[in-house]
Amino acid sequence: MAEIDAKKKKFHQSKKVNISAVKVYKPIFVSLIKMLLSFFFSIAFSVYIPFSLTETLSIETANDEILHKLIEENPIVIALSCSQKDAYILASFSNAESLFPEAKFVAVFPLSLRNFLNQSVPSDPYFAIIKNGVPTAVVGQIDDESTLLYMIDLHLYGTRPVLNSQSELIAALGESPITLMSSYKQFDNTFSLAKEVMPTVGPVNVISLAPSVISDINMKPNECAIYRKVDNALEPFDCSKNTFLNISKTTFDFATIDKLRNSQKLAVLFHSPEIKPEHTELVFVLGSHFRDFNFFFLKDEKTKEFVNAFYERQFCNGLNFGIVDVKNNFIYEVNDYITDELKNATEFDAQIWLNSIAQLINALNLGQVPKTPKSEPIPKPSDLPIKKIVGLNYFDFVLETNMDVLVLFVKPRSNECAEMFTEFRKVAEDSIANNNTNLKFAFMDATVNQIDGGLYPIPGQPSILLYPAANKSFPRLMIGKKAADIQLLMRLFATNSFKLSKEEKLGGMSDFFAAVEYAKLAKPKMNQEQIEVLDDTIKKVAEAYILHINNEKKSTGEAENSFTTVNKEL
């Protein structure tokens, strides 16, 4: 026990750090535990599946049955769920068991732990503390091994040693993405706040400060303070949940594909082969002043590939800056403000960059910065019956005067899209064979191209739009999936007359109703005028289906459908 207590003392003890200011900290975190475990981490990185690592470590692996047995046999169980890329977390978790001998440590298969917890859980890796069969904490996503150790310690014991100097405070910061601090008298309240906000913001460390330290960092005795690891910012606040959630957002972040896709604001992107302090200081100032944007540095290789797909020229090559609307698949043209001369300068002048970016953002807010849709390169002309179009030439193609234009939107490697493409090609080849020179057919990959105004065809599914020659502003969305439905769309809404060799046969009313429900999936992305056009399209297609089916029923004497009856079902 003496050896364990000594290890815990080292775990909590601070390191000596030089500081010159308290407003924004830039600590260097060197943990004794990390040094002791570095050998195991090197092993972990060479292992493809984390659970195979358990064969060389002391940690036990559990499925549903083993997990339940361990919980029955042990008053405290700490269970870790992690994925293939998190072997280093598993190694740290295994070696941490000696620091917490009162608990049984176990690596649990992700599905088994989710089944036991039966609640919303963070993304892997995360851990759960289970006391006497009851989960008392579920903590994640864990971003590094030191965060794991500090979070286990905090949630297992629910206490922290009081920090008595600035050097101790500096050493404690950054061991979690967010650190909350308050006076030792308010620790319980601060800890409760941390647990309350954790499902929203991820792991939150909590530390207690002596009165002298509170005074040194200009906190009031009844205040809390928050430290954000990413942008090294320390801010006091009033200890309320709402205030915390407002200031917990970092002024900038390191981009991942998920963070970019989930960004509800425009993403301001900064790429450099080497991210230097002057870069982070610049983006910190920008992020502090322009809260209507999300600022990101690009480091992750997969994320760089994701961003490069928005640009004709590779974005992540040298020093670069861009603004992307990831949600709507647009990039903003920033070259008039962030010039090649500025990016290629021998020295990085933060003030010139700051002024240029501020001017750019102000112009963007005034609607003075043009945007370009995400697009594949414009393809070469071809004689194929169905032309490939992309975001950059979409409107040039569909808005051609006097032409009725049909566009099929597809998703690669989709069986449904392949089937609809076959139906589409059948009609296109028939049209060309009959010399319908005022009728054009095209397709576009909707996953890598965007058009101004947005794509409202059904996300991830095949769909067809007809742009009538006489009314390009309101294209008609096809109701159905077969060649007969394409022909019907043309007969109802094309401006120019045309000839086809064969009239395909429409399906029954059950096919029609299924097609209507399918088409309605596009409504969430439509504006009110587009919704009204879709409703009118459905009405006219319904009338055509009823006429077709009633003509068939006349020969059999069956009761005919009426539009009133069909309209009620719609």
- In the DSSP assignment, the letter for residue 174 is T
For residues 500 and 259, what is the distance between their CA atoms, to the nearest angstrom?
50
Spell out the SS3 assignment of 181-198. EEEHHHHHHHHHHHHHHH
Tokens of 201: 């913001």
What is the pLDDT, as a whole number, of residue 48? 33
| Residues 349, 355, 359, 362, Cα dihedral to 10° | 120
Cα torsion through 268, 270, 276, 280, rounded to 10: 0
Q: Give residue 41's pLDDT.
A: 35
DSSP 3-state of 293: strand
Beta-bridge partners for 224: 237
Pairing assessment for the beta strands 224-228 and 178-183 based on DSSP bridges: antiparallel
206, β-bridge pairs: 180
Residue 560 has pLDDT above 70, yes or no: no
How far apart are alpha carbons 92 and 97 in whole angstroms?
A: 9
Beta-strand runs (E) in 403-467: 404-410, 439-445, 463-467
pLDDT digits (tens, 9 = 90+) for 304-354: 999 998 987 889 999 999 999 998 889 999 999 999 999 999 999 999 999
Record the tokens describing residue 172, joined without a space.
Answer: 């404690």
3-class secondary-structure state, position 414: coil
Distance CA 390, CA 409 (A): 11
- Dig out the tokens for 343 from the structure: 């990016």
- In this predicted structure, what is the pLDDT of residue 443? 96
Distance CA(526)–CA(454), nearest Å, equals: 9
Say whether pLDDT at 44 is over 60: no
pLDDT in tens, 529-548: 999 999 999 999 999 999 88
Confidence of residue 67 (pLDDT cuts 50, 70, 90): very high
Exposed / middle / buried, residue 495 (Cβ in 10 Å: 0-12, 13-18, 19+):
middle
- Of residues 274 and 6, which shows the higher confidence score? 274
Higher per-residue confidence, 302 vs 53: 302
SS3 79: strand
% helix, strand, coil for the chain, step of 5: 45, 20, 40
Average pLDDT over residues 408-430: 94
Residue 479's Cβ-count burial label (10 Å; 0-12, 13-18, 19+) is buried
Looking at residue 220, its pLDDT comes to 87
CA distance 142 to 371: 37
Question: What is the rounded distance in angstroms from the CA atom of residue 346 to the CA atom of residue 503?
Answer: 68
249 band by pLDDT with thresholds 50, 70 and 90? confident
Q: What mean pLDDT comes out for the span 236-254?
A: 88
Distance, CA of 256 to CA of 248 (rounded, Å):
18
Contact 408, 421 (CB under 8 A): yes
Domains and their CATH numbers in the chain: 13-30+162-249 (3.40.30.10), 32-157 (3.40.30.10), 253-373 (3.40.30.10), 387-569 (3.40.30.10)
Question: Sorting pLDDT into bands at 50, 70 and 90, what band is 438?
Answer: very high
Would you give the distance in Å from CA 493 to the centre of its chain? 39
In terms of pLDDT, which residue wins out, 55 or 211? 211
* pLDDT band (50, 70, 90) for residue 552: confident
Q: What is the pLDDT of residues 318-327, one digit of tens each?
A: 999 999 999 8
Tell me how far apart the alpha carbons of residues 447 and 357 are, in angstroms, rounded to a whole number: 30
- Count of positions (residues) in the chain: 570
Q: At what angle do helices 483-493 and 528-554 cross, to 10 degrees?
A: 110
